[in-house]
Amino acid sequence: MKKCISILIVLLIIVACSTTLQNIASANTASTSSKKISDTVRIANDSLEYEVIIIDNGFSTWLASRAYPRNYYSLQYLENKNYLYVTEWNNRVLQPQRYNPNLYEMSINYRPDIHYGYEVNYLIYNYMIYFQNTYKQKLWGNVPSR
């Protein structure tokens, strides 16, 4: 358990709190940046005012070596899977007596009415696959073993 605490399972934060919220992130208006700092993956989009931060020892390595390449899945597929995974994740966050609170530390604010773009959905989806395989969890449906 202490290893799970020290690894810092996940800090996925999506902040969509703009007074003039745009529903589509287009390549022309969105300046999406992806940075890798050690085992931290960060994606930010200033025009939509959201940020995704994934901190987990080993995720960056897993992403580079075992994840399917970008554009393997369609954006709609990723959005659908992410919605299902995030919904179950958030249900488990609300039940710390039933599910390990060291694994499910905080909820994820993922709204299906906002189009975050391919990169955000790709990283969230792959983190969910990584998480389920690494920590022997099953959030929803068949989990691809990679």
Do the beta carbons of residue 50 and residue 116 sit within 8 Å? yes
Return d(Cα 17, Cα 144) in angstroms, integer.
33
Per residue in 46-65, pLDDT (tens digit) is 565 667 777 788 888 888 89
Q: Which residue reads 């554009």 in tokens?
A: 71
Average pLDDT over residues 90-112: 91
Indicate whether 92 pLDDT > 70.
Answer: yes
Nearest to 27 by CA among 48, 13, 42: 48
Please state, for a pLDDT cut of 70, what percent of the chain lies above it. 64
Work out the pLDDT band at 117, boundaries 50, 70, 90.
confident
Asked whether the CA dihedral 92, 96, 100, 101 is positive or negative, the reply is positive
Q: What is the pLDDT of residues 21-46, one digit of tens each?
A: 333 343 333 334 444 445 677 766 55
Q: Which of 53-57, 75-79, 116-120 is most confident?
A: 75-79
pLDDT at residue 80 tops 90: yes
Neighbours of 123 (CB within 10 A): 24
